[in-house]
């Protein structure tokens, strides 16, 4: 609610230590871009009833020392009558230019922390529409709700529905196919060394996936009993492919370590049994009757990356069913723990941040956002691609973000270890996806 303190997830993002917690989604559309006046009129018509888009983020007052440091919390303040047109502009930039220029720049404190930009397309005959936001304001599901409303078959969003906070019931990930359950909150695993081929700095790259390769990869395994089997989902292929990338990184690091040990000790040393590698995956917690809620209603869950399996199809089989969700009431213990941690956010992040942001906690995050509807157009311009721009990830980790629509999928890779690493990880993803697809043919 406006004026209230941020819940724990949003407070954590407001205190993100690796750069401004900015994220976004870009739509690539064919044709000449609409005029700014046309876009502003469309936004005013479709988004005018949404209180969330008029809120500003207010930082805790006072010095960040002593008791204020432990208990200070951000809050939302609503600016009634705010003109949404002020948040919309155009720039002669590509998406990559905009990321370098804007995503490391904090939003002004006196305006709602979001903006909509008309950008130059990556190819001739296209343009991009980029929604940029402070992640404490909205999550990926909120963004797809907003963007769907702008399409030609959309309509004005309902203000009351946008405020319908998911309450006692939440959609959560089930126990998983092995029944082992999720890891403990502070359980760590094995870190995965990134290539580290260039300077350590935030970086972002984008590649487009071939539809035929992704389709073949989904057919690499059949899920379910005979007679009722299905191909793997795109999300399961995504997790398996990222697991292949991490396996390759581990193999390269282990080969280097073995070479060093061989020259120093004759090769007689043995590595200890490797620990589990975890992938961090955001899961939408909205039950079906809260689908239009705007805000943050997701939980980061961790699932095992099958990096010990050499066969790509075996890795895909291990990833099937990992994100099967169920809707259930929130447990009393869950509410109690969250409320306790949110009451002292400074202490919570100080005590837990060193562990939950460490590469051994989750060396990679995997986020998938998609628009399934056929034939989407905006002011008559057809949608071609959807591209995600994630937050700058924790040091020595990577974020893989898959954006999809009926025309195809786009992979974004963000890392803190430089543009060369981001490019190498994206190339490795394409290679692993091709191996999976070739095994299905």
Contacts of 194 (CB under 8 A, 6+ apart): 249, 396, 397, 398, 415, 417, 421, 425
The pair of structure tokens assigned to 171 is: 């959609």
Band of residue 272 on the pLDDT scale cut at 50, 70, 90: very low
| Residue 65 pLDDT | 56
Return the SS3 of 46.
helix
Whether 180 has a pLDDT exceeding 70, the answer reads: no
- Between the CA of residue 196 and those of 252, 399, 401, 423, what are the distances in Å? 12, 15, 20, 11
Lowest mean pLDDT: which of 27-31, 63-67, 167-171, 411-415? Answer: 63-67
Place of tokens 């010990």: 308
Contact, 155 vs 161, CB < 8 A?
A: no
Mean pLDDT of the chain: 88
**Tally of CB atoms within 10 A around 335:** 11
Q: Are residues 280 and 288 in contact, defined by beta-carbon separation less than 8 angstroms?
A: no
- What are the angstrom distances between the C-alpha of 435 and each of 90, 270, 307, 431, 441? 41, 30, 15, 6, 10
Q: What angle do CA 203, 205, 211 make, to 5 degrees?
A: 155
With tokens 């994220």, the residue in question is 23
330: Cβ contacts below 8 Å, ≥ 6 apart: 167, 168, 169, 170
Retrieve residue 144's tokens: 């797809």
User: 53-62, 120-129, 216-225, 399-408 — which one is most confidently predicted on average?
Assistant: 399-408
Maximum CA pair distance of the chain? 74
The pLDDT-based confidence of 286 (bands split at 50, 70, 90) is very high
* pLDDT exceeds cutoff 90 at 334: no
Model pTM score: 0.92
pLDDT of residue 61: 72
DSSP-derived pairing of the beta strands 230-231 and 88-90? unpaired
Decide if pLDDT at 320 tops 90: yes
């Amino acid at each position: 609610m406006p004026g209230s303190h941020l819940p724990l997830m949003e407070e954590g993002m407001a205190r993100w230590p690796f750069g401004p917690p900015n994220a976004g989604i870009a739509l690539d559309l064919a044709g000449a871009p609409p005029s700014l006046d046309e876009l502003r009129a469309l936004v005013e018509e479709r988004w005018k009833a949404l209180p969330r888009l008029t809120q500003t983020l207010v930082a805790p007052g006072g010095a960040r020392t002593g008791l204020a440091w432990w208990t200070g919390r951000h809050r939302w303040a609503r600016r009634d009558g705010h003109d949404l047109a002020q948040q919309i502009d155009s720039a002669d930039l590509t998406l990559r230019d905009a990321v370098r220029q804007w995503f490391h720049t904090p939003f002004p404190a006196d305006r709602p922390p979001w903006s909509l930009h008309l950008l130059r397309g990556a190819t001739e005959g296209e343009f991009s529409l980029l929604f940029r936001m402070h992640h404490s304001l909205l999550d990926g599901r909120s963004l797809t709700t907003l963007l769907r409303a702008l399409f030609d078959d959309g309509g004005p969003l309902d203000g009351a529905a946008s405020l319908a906070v998911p309450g006692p019931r939440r959609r959560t990930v089930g126990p998983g196919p092995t029944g082992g359950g999720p890891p403990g909150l502070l359980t760590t695993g094995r870190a995965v060394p990134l290539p580290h081929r260039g300077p350590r700095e935030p970086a972002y790259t984008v590649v487009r996936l071939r539809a035929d390769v992704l389709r073949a990869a989904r057919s690499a395994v059949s899920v379910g009993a005979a007679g009722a089997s299905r191909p793997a989902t795109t999300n399961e292929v995504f997790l398996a492919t990222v697991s292949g990338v991490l396996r390759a990184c581990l193999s390269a690091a282990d080969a280097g370590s073995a070479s060093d040990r061989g020259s120093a000790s004759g090769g007689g040393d043995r590595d200890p049994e490797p620990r589990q590698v975890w992938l961090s995956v955001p899961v939408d917690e909205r039950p079906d009757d809260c689908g239009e809620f705007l805000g943050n209603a997701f939980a980061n869950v961790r699932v095992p990356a099958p990096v010990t399996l050499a066969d790509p199809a075996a890795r895909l089989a291990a990833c099937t069913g990992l994100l099967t969700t169920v809707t259930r009431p929130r447990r009393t213990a869950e509410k109690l723990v969250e409320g306790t941690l949110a009451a002292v956010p400074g202490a919570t992040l100080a005590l837990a941040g060193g562990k939950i942001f460490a590469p051994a906690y989750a060396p990679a995050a995997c986020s998938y956002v998609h628009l399934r509807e056929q034939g989407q157009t905006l002011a008559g311009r057809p949608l071609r691609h959807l591209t995600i721009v994630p937050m700058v990830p924790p040091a020595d980790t990577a974020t893989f973000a898959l954006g999809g629509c009926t025309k195809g999928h786009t992979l974004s890779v963000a890392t803190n270890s430089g543009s060369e690493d981001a490019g190498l990880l994206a190339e490795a993803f394409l290679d692993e996806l091709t191996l999976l697809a070739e095994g299905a043919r």
